[in-house]
Amino acid sequence: DTEVTQTPKHLVMGMTNKKSLKCEQHMGHRAMYWYKQKAKKPPELMFVYSYEKLSINESVPSRFSPECPNSSLLNLHLHALQPEDSALYLCASSLTYLSGGIADTQYFGPGTRLTVL
Amino acid sequence: AQSVTQLGSHVSVSEGALVLLRCNYSSSVPPYLFWYVQYPNQGLQLLLKYTSAATLVKGINGFEAEFKKSETSFHLTKPSAHMSDAAEYFCAVSDSGGTGNQFYFGTGTSLTVIP
């Protein structure tokens, strides 16, 4: 099973709202990723968690707050977003992040379509 | 530094014709290369990956890709296009040189299949 699940599928929020995106995998992967994807563009890396610790933050604004409560679950907390934050948010996981020179396949979830009004 | 170039942001082929999507990479270390497909409003699905075991890699849905080191290319092909192949295709290279499993994506190629 190579499934990554994401909820909700769609989310509409105002600029003053607080909401959260959820990502889950049960493949025993120890690396999890958040990406942002605008229409007709490639995914842009936001955060990487390795063994539940934040390893990479690609200079993402503080209105996006990631959390990894356990090895299977990844959350993205949203607060005071701007309309330009509207995008498809993708979660991915891989076996490891630091694998000593071997690339592990990243498996992607279906995404959450976020609209900020 | 790793990077990927996908020539042709839009490719149109007739149903039953050969599909050829181009990907060239730049890598300072032996690369790990991936092709993903994305259908509208969905996530990315792995088509195939190159990990140095064999230069010709077969993937799902009849796709294959050939790694050519001399040309720094990893083009994706399919002998006969189906209507269901219409989607966005992304080539990616992995930064596996000890600094982490970061993927660097190309800008994508939108494939249209004409009936």
Q: Does B5 touch chain A (CB under 8 A)?
A: no
> Which among B90, B102, B108 is the nearest to A45, CB-wise?
B102
> Which among A31, A42, A97 is the nearest to B106, CB-wise?
A42
The residue length of chain B stands at: 115
pLDDT-above-70 percentage for chain A: 96
B24-83 residues touching A, CB cutoff 8 A: 29, 32, 34, 36, 41-46, 49, 51
Residue B97, pLDDT above cutoff 60: no
Residue B16 C-alpha, separation from nearest chain A C-alpha, in angstroms: 25
**Residue-wise pLDDT tens digits, B32-87:** 899 999 999 899 999 999 987 788 999 999 999 999 989 999 999 999 999 999 99
Across the range A73-83, mean pLDDT stands at 96
Q: With contact defined as beta carbons under 8 Å apart, do A38 and A116 qualify? A: no
Other beta carbons within 10 Å of B89 = 23
B84-103 residues touching A, CB cutoff 8 A: 88, 90, 94, 96-98, 100-103
Mean pLDDT of chain A: 93
DSSP 3-state of B83? helix
Q: Do the Cβ atoms of A108 and B45 come within 8 Å?
A: yes
Q: Do the Cβ atoms of B41 and A88 come within 8 Å?
A: yes
CA atoms within 13 A on the CB side of A35: 25
Lookup result for tokens 């890598």: B27
Residue A75 C-alpha, separation from nearest chain B C-alpha, in angstroms: 17
Across the range A82-92, mean pLDDT stands at 97
The pLDDT assigned to B96 comes to: 65
Name residue B2's amino acid: Q
